[in-house]
Structure 1
Amino acid sequence: MKCVKCGKPSTVHVQNLDTCGSCFQKIIEKRVRKEVRTAGLIEKNDKILVIDDGSASGKVSGYLLKKIIKGMPVQIEIKQKEFEPGMEIKGDYNKVVVPWNADLEDEYFLSCVMQNREAEFLGHYTTSSKTYVKLLLPVLSSEAEQLAKIRNFSYTEKKDKSPIREVMDKLEEEYPEAKFSLLKSSREFSR
């Protein structure tokens, strides 16, 4: 198979899309740039903490943030730390980039709907004086893992899948783009 963008031999097959590694990186970076731009997530003189939980999303978040804000006057610090939604991060940062992707957002949204509880941490959210940025919101976990492999990042895979994640994966197999449709619904729900 050939890359759908440049015609070189394809090395990546994600979401029914055959691309070479270089074009795949550009596609992911473009999606993340659009998310940052449309949501106004990063500004000059921000103090940003990137949480790296050892997952592919954590590694890729740090890499993409540095690539996207190249030349912008911001301070970035990367810390190895586990993260859960609603967790308060201490420190003199006004933005916290969390290792969160579209799959985790969909799972969180569905669990809130099924348990009939308020989804207060949907999308990018603010608590007290910090904005929590989900940089990889437009990226699936499989895409983050693929990008981590292309960039030769070492990461730990989470072996245990929740029942909700298993259902989402089955839906995605049968109906491509189902995860992105659910993500769009969660964004409409949170407005």
Structure 2
Amino acid sequence: GINVTVPHKEAVMRYVQADNLAQVVGAINTIDFRTGVGTNTDVSGFLDDLAAHGVTIKGARVVVLGAGGAARAVVYGLAQGGAEVAVVNRSLERALDLARTLLVPFRLMTLNEASDWGASLIVNCTSAGLQPNVSVTPWHEDVPFPKGVTLYDTIYRPARTSLMRQAEAASGQAINGTGMLVRQGAAAFKLWTGVEAPVEVMMDALLDALGGL
């Protein structure tokens, strides 16, 4: 099988059979060649990594930046976990499409509204800040970053993004996307092999590889 990454997680649904989870989420990141079925392990990978960092989502207010394939998995997982979710996206059309097709409760907000909403967690699902555009951030400098908020950036290259620095400057905790990458991969590994993946070994190997890039 293979993992599918941005920007192909939604487009690939036209070419394989989507399982129930992928149909609900509207995005595929894992394909099993034996069956021709695509699924989504981003949901469990994200939630498992939040739990590994001690982040509780039940009853929490969470702002999600972005409305693409990664955001679909994140919003779905957060809503299923009992969070109150708000989505901020540069393109209103794309955000409205997410609202029409992802059948879980969430609201749409502007960045200014999100700044004052009282969220305890912000999740970046955009590619803003991804190498080589490391100076880019999806949180405009003229909008105050909420104080003391946990920031989860699904980007893992670079390991510390400009957005993460903004969160830390506002006395918040910042987590990058390496754990989500490993844990979604571990779920895919189990799907393909039937064997539990060695998560810690995978994490060490990823960190070694990223350190050499």
Place the TM-score, normalised by the shorter chain, in its bin. 0.3 to 0.5
How does the TM-score come out when normalised to structure 2?
0.38
Highest RCO, 1 vs 2 (Cα 8 Å, sep ≥ 6): 1
After TM superposition, the score normalised by the length of structure 1 is 0.42
